[in-house]
Amino acid sequence: MKKAKRNKPSIYDIAQTVGVSAAAVSYVINGKDKVSEKTKKKILETMAAMGYVIDQSAVSLSKGKSSLVGICFPLESSSLVFSDNPFYSEFLANFEREISKGGYDTIIGYLKSPSDFERWLISRGLDGLVLFGLYSPEIFKIIHAHKTPYVLTDFYDPALNALSIRVDDALGGYLAGKHLIELGHKRIAFVGGELATSKVDSKRLEGLNAALAEAMLPAARLIETSTNFEGGYLAAEELLASRDETAVFCGSDIVAIGLMRRAQELGVSIPEDLSVVGFDDLKACTYVYPALTTIAQNIPLKGQVAATALLEAMNGGEGMNFPPIEPRLILRNSTASPKK
Amino acid sequence: MKKAKRNKPSIYDIAQTVGVSAAAVSYVINGKDKVSEKTKKKILETMAAMGYVIDQSAVSLSKGKSSLVGICFPLESSSLVFSDNPFYSEFLANFEREISKGGYDTIIGYLKSPSDFERWLISRGLDGLVLFGLYSPEIFKIIHAHKTPYVLTDFYDPALNALSIRVDDALGGYLAGKHLIELGHKRIAFVGGELATSKVDSKRLEGLNAALAEAMLPAARLIETSTNFEGGYLAAEELLASRDETAVFCGSDIVAIGLMRRAQELGVSIPEDLSVVGFDDLKACTYVYPALTTIAQNIPLKGQVAATALLEAMNGGEGMNFPPIEPRLILRNSTASPKK
DNA sequence: CTGAAAGCGCTAACAT
DNA sequence: ATGTTAGCGCTTTCAG
């Protein structure tokens, strides 16, 4: 195979012009201090002069380390989760920025079949993985077989002793409940994803019910829907069919936003007729009117912590489980005391 | 360097168990029909049986082709453009899905310094590039020096004979103006990014003014701001300081959303007191209340076309410039006839 | 139709 | 402190 002549210089080229061996160049590149200051300096200079740039493929082949991490999004109901819920892109932006400090590039992927996943993981020689959502045992088997460090987000399976970045969802739910109760609400609904598959939402509901119980109030009415705008939009109708509740807590902002939207179309005004609180603290919370009161899970921090944890894991540092991120209530304008 | 024993099989391993040479295996992998059906079949079978997965680093090193494309976002004012404007993530989602059909993985990056950019481009051996925003001539020099195919989005420099994916921005502006004029508005404002750097917004304004001129109406009042929620939010105050205009056309939905938000806080109701139309057709258009009337640029299509064009370019197919995407008006609830 | 072997750029023993 | 050399896994002439 012939490549275009005179492309980029290799370590041999620079070694040759400096008058040393390729190994010497490799040493200075890798910071092994096996080279005298003098030659090191000369090497560095010629590298700059000749515009040397290391070839990652070669490094990868030689070291078995790609400096690539994969981030894998669930492929929910064949829609692009990415544009479904801004949560993902906000997370990605912050994760990427942090992991790049460690010299890693991020490659994105969607979860297709296990065999596609394996091909993706192996052929690229991914050094680490970030996984969103739920994955089958088969997937984990693959990951374990290749000993790839990974971090899970919002994962709750205690059987799996894995790094998991999450917020204290139950506390978040509790906070939301507490806030609504203090405002004087007695009947509260919860709108979230299918509890069977969304552990996160289960926890959030749990927290809400704990607050309710503490105040001797009845447990929340539960409405399950899909975790996106449309889900919230649809749930609004079900919620408003009976007007027993004066407040609703949604498992995600995007659901809350959809719900508010539909409620307004149906003529119920927020927060006068209905208080709503969300969870996540997306940017979009301030896009809507009234601005959405929510439980912040500090997405930027989450992205950053995930990166830090993964970096740690890839450097061999086992254990190092990060404590859950503490959620907090962000007061905006979608909640108020009930009218009557 | 010793790697953990018995890791993944190489073509040698599979060649050995089949009883042929490594070359034969390589041939079948690459679909060169230089191998008899019989052996080909046996090779395929053992590959499956042994769980063979090709190593991209090796391929990349050998062929000088990484099967990786980079997508580069501007790093505006040190903020994460990604969470600033959902446009980017919606584009990315669709681009990624399409390009992956061609066997490419997408690696994301932000534009840092030219030398960082070069390091990124070269060290990963990127096969193609998608560029958002404005780049210095220096950057293009680098790209050209390495002969990397690329596609630009929303780029208007005719001097640069490059693949560029864009919508007909002027037509979009015209459509927006026409709509507002037909509604009976006589004084219209335009809120967009700095025209000096945003060619896109210049074109959109141009189109608006063309419609205005056609109707013998005065040109639009121009308010420049930053292209994000905060920008629109701030612009609202300036716009509403004088109440001469009854309608406003914003260069991007995200700006329109910020503007609407602030306007509502200031007590002006939309569309009764002020009509607003955006540009992009983000999902978020329906999150807000009233839902935003906008000029759709069909983001999914844009992402898809960008991928197709890049695929084409990477396969040597030069030229192939795609026609601009045709924008269309999406009627929602943020526009109405002026009151008086 | 099949195999041997050189080479892609870099790393890491193992000398010297 | 520096050089030699054998891979890493795959592709691709060039010979059979």
All structural domains of chain A with their residue ranges = 11-57, 68-167+300-314, 169-297
Options 3.40.50.2300, 3.90.220.20, 3.10.129.10, 1.10.3720.10; CATH of B68-167+300-314: 3.40.50.2300
pLDDT at A76 over 60: no
B292 has pLDDT over 90: yes
A63 touches strand C (CB under 7 A): yes
Nearest to B83 among A3, A56, A283 (CB): A283
Give residues with Cβ within 8 angstroms of A243, minimum separation 6: none
CA of A121 to C1' of D11 (A): 22
CB contact under 8 A, A105 and B106: no
pLDDT > 90 in chain B, percent: 70
Judge: A124–B60 Cβ closer than 8 Å, yes or no: no
Whether the beta carbon of A3 falls within 7 A of nucleic chain C: the reply is: yes
B169-297 matches B68-167+300-314 in CATH topology: yes
* Contact between A108 and B106 using a beta-carbon 8 Å cutoff: yes
Nucleic strand D near CB of residue A78 (< 7 Å): no
Nearest residue on chain A to B125, alpha-carbon basis: A55
User: Which residues of chain B (42-61) touch nucleic strand D at CB < 7 A?
Assistant: 52, 54-55, 58-59, 61
Picking from B1, B6, B52, B83 by the largest number of A CB atoms within 10 A of its own CB, the best residue to mutate is B83
Q: What is the pLDDT of residues B89-127, one digit of tens each?
A: 888 888 988 999 999 999 988 777 888 899 999 999 999
Nearest nucleotide to the CA of B21, by C1', is: C3
| pTM exceeds 0.75, yes or no | yes
Strand C within 7 A of B20 CB: yes
B123: Cβ under 7 Å from strand C?
A: no
pLDDT at res. A6: 46
Q: Which residues of A touch B284 (CB under 8 A)?
A: 284, 287
What's the rounded Cα separation, in Å, for the pair A194 and A235? 12
| Residue A65 contacts strand C, CB under 7 A | no
- In the 15-74 stretch of chain A, whose C-beta falls under 7 Å of nucleic acid strand D? 19-24, 27, 33-36, 38-40, 58, 61-62, 64
Asked whether B124 and A58 are in contact (CB, 8 A), the reply is: no
Distance A123 CA to D14 C1' (A): 30
Strand C nucleotides with an atom less than 7 Å from a protein beta carbon: 1-5, 7-13
pLDDT confidence bin for B162, thresholds 50/70/90: confident
Which pLDDT belongs to residue B77? 43
User: Does residue A128 contact residue B115 with C-beta atoms inside 8 Å?
Assistant: no
A146 is near strand D: CB distance < 7 Å: no
CATH of domain A169-297: 3.40.50.2300
A288 contacts on B by Cβ (under 8 Å): 287-289
* C-alpha of A109 from chain center: 13
Contacts of B108 in chain A (CB under 8 A): 92, 96, 105-106, 108
CB contact under 8 A, A60 and B57: yes
Nearest to A95 by CA among A151, A155, A45: A151
Q: When comparing pLDDT for A57 and B82, which is higher?
A: A57
End-to-end distance of chain A based on CA atoms, in angstroms? 81
pLDDT for A213-267, tens place per residue?
999 999 999 999 999 999 999 999 999 999 999 999 999 999 999 999 999 999 9
Residue range A145-166, pLDDT digits in tens: 888 999 998 877 766 677 888 8
Q: Using the structure block, give the residue that is written with the tokens 């929620």.
A: B229
Question: What residues of A are in contact with residue B4 (Cβ under 8 Å)?
Answer: 147
Q: Sheet containing B275-280: which strands, arranged edge to edge? A: B221-224, B188-192, B247-250, B275-280, B293-296, B328-330
Question: CATH number of A11-57: 1.10.10.10, 1.10.260.40, 3.10.20.740, 3.90.1150.10?
Answer: 1.10.260.40
pLDDT-derived band at A297, boundaries 50, 70, 90: very high
Print the SS3 string covering chain A. Answer: CCCCCCCCCCHHHHHHHHCCCHHHHHHHHCCCCCCCHHHHHHHHHHHHHHCCCCCHHHHHHHHCCCCEEEEEECCHHHCCHHHHCHHHHHHHHHHHHHHHCCCCEEEEEECCCHHHHHHHHHHCCCCEEEEECCCCHHHHHHHHHCCCCEEEECCCCCCCCCEEECECHHHHHHHHHHHHHHCCCCCEEEEECCCCCCHHHHHHHHHHHHHHHHCCCCCCEEEECCCCHHHHHHHHHHHHHCCCCCEEEECCHHHHHHHHHHHHHCCCCCCCCCEEEEEECCHHHHCCCCCCEEEECCHHHHHHHHHHHHHHHHCCCCCCCCCCECCEEECCCCCCCCCC
Output the CA torsion sign for A321, B107, A123, B62.
Answer: negative
Residue A5 has a pLDDT of 38
In this structure, of A77-81, A195-199, B326-330, the range with the lowest mean pLDDT score is A77-81
